[in-house]
Amino acid sequence: MSQSPMQLIRTLTMALMVFASAGAWAGTTVIHTNEAYLDEARNTPDFSIDDKLAVFRLVLDALPPTVKVYPTENYYYFWFHHNGIKYAGNIRFDAEDRDQGLVHFNYFKDFTPWQRDEADFSAVLGVKDGVKVSKAGKLSYDVSFGSKSVRFNLNDLSGVKPPPGAIGKGETYIGPVFDESGIRFFLVFHEELKIFMFILDESAPAADQYDVPPQSDRLTIGIRSGFAFYADRYADRKILVGVNQINTSVNNYFDGPFDQLPDNFIEGEALRRAILAASPEMKGGIDRFGNSPDNETRYLIAPYLQYEDVSELGVIAQCAATEKLPAYYNCFSFTGGDEGDDPPPDGGNP
């Protein structure tokens, strides 16, 4: 089936509509149909997939005049079909260079359990490419290409503060996290144990429903996300303790909040100090965001268990039921904090 360029734009608009501005979709239930999906998958496009500017134009043209970038590492995710293949990608407003008029653009074949082609199409776009990025407000940016301009409003969580009891004694609050799953967290560093934790922000509207597994009544698992939380025995809070390995293997929206750190809200050297406390060998090798000097890798903060089966969470319940403070919190840490990068490339796609 062949579509005109205008029909193709309308098709991509349907695929992107769940990312439209909150005001446009507030209170609206969006219906997705097999018909629309098949129309997209069967479309014969009139552009080459390796033409990055053509794809960027297609994405920008499909967006409404104003959109909301929810994730706190400032990725605006999208997906589309090209010759029967689903591609996922993102437009990113990197805290380090967006004010220099640059925007990062990336897309690749959508990962599946049977396909993980890590070849991607990436570009840092700016005036040299005919792309104008202008700061329109504290956390707002206008992106123009050709005759189309879109305002990207980044997620302003500057007023979000942890409630009493969410941050324990001897812990440092790094900042608020809005994950691409729609779940909000507080990123916390335990000074004595030198471990990171993601604490569920329960002051935000619930974006999931939860089951209680047989391993412990303190464990809850998100029906939509697969995120596993443990209700802290010593504080009124829930700690993220598990992410399903199927999701991490295909790099989707539920692969965990390691790739959505609170970039816009990190105060000074707070994150770098915490990283160096956990991994002193990183001294001189990271900036204040945890990026390597060449900006190719970022220090990995993913302390939770990657579980395949719910039964694996039993080891957490057993440990937490017997350990005393402060070692108790080691029950929820499963990584040594080695330097790493987001699963390349960062698609965060469904």
pTM: 0.89
* Average pLDDT of the chain, as a whole number: 90
Q: 219 and 150, same structural domain?
A: no
Q: What is the pLDDT of residue 339?
A: 42
- Is the domain of 195 the same as that of 112? no
Q: Would residue 229 count as lying in a domain?
A: yes
In a domain, residue 277? The reply is yes
One domain, residues 217 and 321: yes
Strands 66-69 and 148-154, by their bridges, are parallel
Q: How confident is the model at residue 28 (pLDDT cuts 50, 70, 90)?
A: confident
Question: Distance between CA atoms of 61 and 6, rounded to whole angstroms?
Answer: 10
Residue 104 and residue 70 share a domain? yes
Among the three residues 100, 121, 154, which one is the final residue of a domain in this structure? 154
| 162-174 pLDDT, tens digit each | 999 899 999 999 9
pLDDT of residue 309: 97
Q: What is the pLDDT of residues 187-208, one digit of tens each?
A: 999 999 999 999 999 999 999 9
Asked if the structure places residue 165 within a domain, the reply is no
- The helix or strand, by DSSP H or E, that contains position 219, with its residue range, turns out to be strand 219-222
Whether residue 131 is found in the same domain as residue 178:
no
Residue 159 lies in a domain: no
Asked if 67 and 19 touch (Cβ cutoff 8 Å), the reply is yes
Tens of pLDDT along 297-331?
Answer: 999 999 999 999 999 999 999 999 999 999 999 99
Upper half-sphere CA count for residue 310 (Cβ side, 13 Å): 15
Q: Does residue 182 share a domain with residue 101?
A: no
Q: Which tokens belong to 179?
A: 């994950």
Q: What is the pLDDT of residues 150-165, one digit of tens each?
A: 999 999 999 999 999 8
Instruction: Note the pLDDT of residue 26.
Output: 54
| Structure confidence at residue 347 (pLDDT) | 55
Same domain, yes or no, for 49 and 108?
yes
Tell me which residue range forms the domain holding 35. Answer: 5-154
Does any domain span residue 204? yes
Portion of the chain with pLDDT greater than 70, in percent: 88
Residue 344 has pLDDT above 90, yes or no: no
16 and 138: one domain?
yes
User: Residue 262 falls within a domain, yes or no?
Assistant: yes
**Rg of the chain taking only CA atoms, in angstroms:** 21
15 compared with 118, residue with greater pLDDT:
118
Our count of domains for the chain comes to 2
Query: Alpha-carbon distance 350 to 330, whole Å?
Result: 32
User: Is residue 21 over pLDDT 80?
Assistant: no
247 and 138 within one domain: no
Q: Are residues 112 and 48 in the same domain?
A: yes
pLDDT at 277 over 60: yes
Q: Say how many C-beta atoms besides its own lie within 10 A of residue 330's C-beta.
A: 15
pLDDT tens digits for 37-85? 999 999 999 999 999 999 999 999 999 999 999 999 999 999 999 999 9
- Domain boundary at 124, 154, 184, which? 154
Query: What long-range pairs does 94-102 form, CB within 8 A, spacing at least 24?
Result: 95/263, 95/264, 95/289, 96/287, 96/289, 96/291, 96/295, 97/124, 98/74, 98/133, 98/135, 98/141, 99/135, 100/126, 101/126, 101/127, 101/132, 101/133, 101/134, 102/126, 102/133
C-alpha–C-alpha distance, residues 329 and 196, integer Å: 10
Cβ 39 vs Cβ 126: under 8 Å: no
Find the mean pLDDT for residues 31-36.
95
Whether 126 and 246 share a structural domain: no
The answer on 230 and 86 residing in a single domain is: no
Of the candidate ranges 19-23, 89-93, 252-256, the one whose mean pLDDT is the lowest: 19-23
In a domain, 163, yes or no: no
Decide which of 154, 179, 194 is a domain's last residue: 154
- Tokens 């399903």 sit at which residue? 244
Specify if 67 maps to a domain. Answer: yes
